[in-house]
Amino acid sequence: MLPGALLEELNEQIKYELFSANYYLSMAAYCASEGLDGFANFFFVQDQEERFHAMKFFHFILEKGERPVIKGLEEPRKDFSSLEEVFELALKHEKFVSKRIYDLMELATKEKEFATISFLKWFVDEQVEEEASMSNILSKISRVGEKGEGIYTLDRDLAQRVFTPPAEG
d(CA 18, CA 41): 18
Counting contacts by CB under 6 A, is residue 94 touching ligand FEO? yes
Contact 138, 84 (CB under 8 A): yes
Counting contacts by CB under 6 A, is residue 9 touching ligand FEO? no
Binding ligand FEO (rule: CB under 6 A), the pick from 9, 50, 113, 155 is 50
d(CA 36, CA 156): 9
d(CA 36, CA 55): 29
- Using CB under 6 A as the binding rule, the residues of this chain from 103 to 132 that contact ligand FEO are 130
Query: Nearest distance from residue 94's CB to ligand FEO, in Å?
Result: 5
d(CA 71, CA 16): 10
Binding ligand FEO (rule: CB under 6 A), the pick from 18, 40, 97, 137 is 97
Q: Return residues touching ligand FEO (CB under 6 A).
A: 17, 20, 50, 53, 94, 97, 130
